[in-house]
Structure 1
Amino acid sequence: MQKQKKEKKYIQEIKTGDKVVTKSGLHGKIMSLNDDGTCIIESGAGKMKFERSALSMEMSLALNKPIKENKLIKK
């Protein structure tokens, strides 16, 4: 139940310009959000319309996670 609440909150908070990944693995950027629960995603294949529920919170967050610097390598 907690995971469902977090995912619902994530879907409500996405905005234009966010990089996302769908549950089927399509990577893209949000071009527009529609009132009917859909969004337009631009990817290498062009612009496509998806239901917001098709977005994967976990994969999208992992995509946007900053890369940590490796502190073991010092010059």
Structure 2
Amino acid sequence: MLILSLLGAPEGGTANPAATMLMMFGFIAIFYFIFFRPQRKQQREHQEMVKNLKRGDEVTTIGGIVGTIVHLTNDRVTVKTGDTRIEVERSKIGRVGSQR
């Protein structure tokens, strides 16, 4: 009842169903354009970046490890950092290129 009174429904009657539906679709559209669409765009960009990795690229992992790619497989990347080589999942690469 409180929601109906806030939406402008008459005291003794019911709210206009068309106005209520329009408002619900408006909220759904707002959520889509503010939350879901930018997140999907960011996911597509990340997948494209991971797909285009190549040997010799300087990368930063999500965990903050910086190194150079020395070997690639379908789902793993070997990164040389200092004198150490580590193997990480492709999806855990956060950035490509130096960020200095």
**Greater helix share, 1 or 2?**
2
Structure 1 residues not aligned, in runs of 5+: 66-75
Structure 2 residues not aligned, in runs of 5+: 1-39
Correspondence for 1:15 among 54, 63, 73: 54
Larger-gyration structure (1/2)? 2
Alignment of 1:17-36 (within 5 A): 17-35=56-74
Q: So what's the TM-score if we normalise by structure 1? A: 0.74
Between Structure 1 and Structure 2, how many residues are aligned?
61
Q: Which has the higher contact order (CA 8 A, sep 6+)?
A: 1
Spell out structure 1 runs of 4+ moving beyond 4 A. Answer: none
Give the secondary-structure state (helix, strand or coil) at the position aligned to 2:85.
Answer: strand
Task: Output the aligned Cα RMSD.
Answer: 1.6
